Structure 1
Amino acid sequence: MDYKNIYIEEENNIATITINRPKKLNALNKRTIEELHVAFKELDEDTGIKVIIITGSGEKAFVAGADISEFSDFSIQEGWQLAAEGQKLLFNFVENLSTPVIAAVNGFALGGGLELAMSCHFRLASENAKMGLPEVTLGLIPGYGGTQRLPMLIGKGRAMEMIMTAGMIDAATALDYGLVNHVVSQEELLPLGHKIASRISNNSSVAIKYAINAVNAGFKYDVNGYAAEVDAFGSCFGTNDFKEGTSAFLEKRKADFPGS
């Protein structure tokens, strides 16, 4: 795909996707969502990529929301389709990706931007980051998973307050709420992301895939997370990574995981 709104950089088994619509504060439009879907899919299929970092261009915004001009005149059916397709193509897709995805929130993460960050496996933020779900000021509600993921991450009461007031929280509050794992300066954000990604990439990509699936299962109403963990744990015993990991441990050497 010919990317117009994103670009990808690869280094040491780590891919960084940058959303590049600075004049629109990196707002998500249909084209950007489609490009991100293709990028995540291709990177996930690339066995040489162990971790994906996603961030926004510039110093103002990660993603400042959805591109409202695209849907301001939508009908009920079109609005339903917008949310359903977006969740399938990007937000649910990222959450269930086998490759770990880290959001490096480098500024405003509002509406669809915060929803994108929350769909990632965890989040880092720069000190200037601001996060919120302002949809009710438009007569809408979050439609890309915000009403579901925010309560899971910060609790029902805090999520209800953020959604109903449409208020923004700063990076320090997000850290206190558990919405982000680390807060650093803008200059330190991507280096920290790469440092954590490098630590992840040293481990078994197969085991990490199973861990992602097991953790996600615990947040699904129709899945027994404990049973999913048992199944995943058992499956690990049939992998080459398990054989290498246990052999390396017993031989007191560093494991060289084949990723299978």
Structure 2
Amino acid sequence: MVSSHLQLRWFPLCLVALSILWRSIEAQQVIAPPPAVHGTLTFNITNDHTIRVTINNPPINLFNNNLLDDMLSFLTSLVPSNRATPPPKVVIFSSSNPDFFMMHRDVQGIIPPLVPWKLQAINNYISITRYLQNITTTVFIAECNGRAFGAGNEVMVQMDMRFAGPNASVGFFEDGLGVFPGGGGQQFLLELVGKARTMEYVLGALQIDGPTGAEIGWFNRYYESADAMTRSIDDLAARISTFPNGTVNATKSGLSWRNPTLEVLEADIAEFIRLDAMPDRAPLEEMFLNVTKNETATPFEMNTPLNMPELYV
């Protein structure tokens, strides 16, 4: 048997070895994922532990199945058990389009009847929103300098931080189509701005700008310059990346008790699917596709929530 004296001598050496091993793991540079299959996302490493993801899905960054697949594939790659190297400590989402950050789901993909491929797309979308919460080893930051309506806004409010540039404009319009933000968006907005304001903006299908969003808590902060916003977010990401992986995971995990329960979120999507099958849905969605010229950069899509009453004229 090893004497207690020898154990005491070896113990500090073991601590040193573990410390060196831990520092070597921490020092590993994050490896950028392979190019997105559909080309709607591009990836750039801004420091050893941060990936900047640029959304580019012309003409309006519509959350169609191409963007859906690329987002799901990327987020799946960040799950620690799916990786041979440490995940990035910070992921920043931005857009190459000065007018659109991330827009709504492709209405053609949810219009009744909900055939199997449409239901699968809904489930994939829900997986994206869950990953944003359940991957606690990575902090997700939205750099919003364009429009984020519907599902794009829903995904954004479920990220860990949101910052607004001069072109930022956000809102939910789903109630105007006879459904509601069914992927958990209204529950997470509730946490940001409170129940009364959530009711006001969701039920009214209202639209707000960056300064207003920052004032009420939809955004962390508003910037009058897009360049200033990018520099500030990059500085914040670099600062977070300086600290150990464990602190990122512990902080995000420790705050997750504020998230809605899985039961609430599952009930939410079940109700969305029920409403989506209602016979009054299809005429509204057909009108929506008509006035948006199949979801292109029309004046209607530039201010989607604001323009929803036009469907009822």
TM-score of the superposition, structure 2-length normalised? Answer: 0.65
State whether structure 2 residue 43 is matched by structure 1 residue 8: yes
Aligned to 2:218, the other structure's residue is in SS state coil
Deviates more, 1:77-86 or 1:203-212: 77-86
Q: Deviations over 1:69-127 (max 9, x none)?
A: 22223339877655443112x11111222211101111101111111111111111102
Q: Does the CA-based 8 Å contact 1:55-1:104 persist in structure 2?
A: yes
State whether structure 2 residue 257 is matched by structure 1 residue 217: yes
Identity %: 25
Amino acid at match of 2:114: S
Q: Does the CA-based 8 Å contact 2:57-2:67 persist in structure 1?
A: no
Q: Match of 2:62?
A: 27
Match of 2:208 among 169, 175, 200: 169
Change in CA separation of 1:2 and 1:78 when aligned onto 2, cut-off 3 Å: closer
1:133 and 1:116 map into 2 onto residues whose CA distance is 12
Once the two structures are superposed, the pairs formed by residues 99-178 of structure 1 within 5 Å of their partners are 99-178=138-217
Q: CA deviation at 1:129?
A: 0.5
State whether structure 2 residue 93 is matched by structure 1 residue 54: yes
Match of 2:133 among 95, 101, 120: 95
Deviates more, 1:151-160 or 1:185-194: 185-194
Q: Match of 2:53?
A: 17
Q: Does the CA-based 8 Å contact 2:87-2:138 persist in structure 1?
A: no
Q: CA deviation at 1:64?
A: 2.1
Amino acid at match of 1:17: V
Amino acid at match of 1:211: T
Aligned to 1:49, the other structure's residue is in SS state coil
Match of 2:111 among 72, 86, 96: 72
Q: Does the CA-based 8 Å contact 1:26-1:57 persist in structure 2?
A: no
Q: Match of 1:203?
A: 243
Q: Deviations over 1:185-222 (max 9, x none)?
A: 22222222211101100112112112111101233458
2:145 and 2:74 map into 1 onto residues whose CA distance is 20
Match of 2:102 among 63, 70, 75: 63
1:77 and 1:143 map into 2 onto residues whose CA distance is 18
2:71 and 2:94 map into 1 onto residues whose CA distance is 12
Amino acid at match of 2:42: Y
Change in CA separation of 1:10 and 1:109 when aligned onto 2, cut-off 3 Å: same
1:222 and 1:138 map into 2 onto residues whose CA distance is 25
Once the two structures are superposed, the pairs formed by residues 236-251 of structure 1 within 5 Å of their partners are none
Aligned to 1:22, the other structure's residue is in SS state coil
Amino acid at match of 1:130: S
Q: Does the CA-based 8 Å contact 2:94-2:101 persist in structure 1?
A: yes
Amino acid at match of 2:232: L
Aligned to 2:101, the other structure's residue is in SS state strand
1:114 and 1:191 map into 2 onto residues whose CA distance is 23
1:43 and 1:93 map into 2 onto residues whose CA distance is 9
Q: Does the CA-based 8 Å contact 2:44-2:51 persist in structure 1?
A: yes
Amino acid at match of 2:194: G
Q: Does the CA-based 8 Å contact 2:62-2:105 persist in structure 1?
A: yes
1:220 and 1:138 map into 2 onto residues whose CA distance is 24
Please identify the structure whose Cα radius of gyration is greater.
2
User: How many residues are treated as equivalent by the alignment?
Assistant: 221
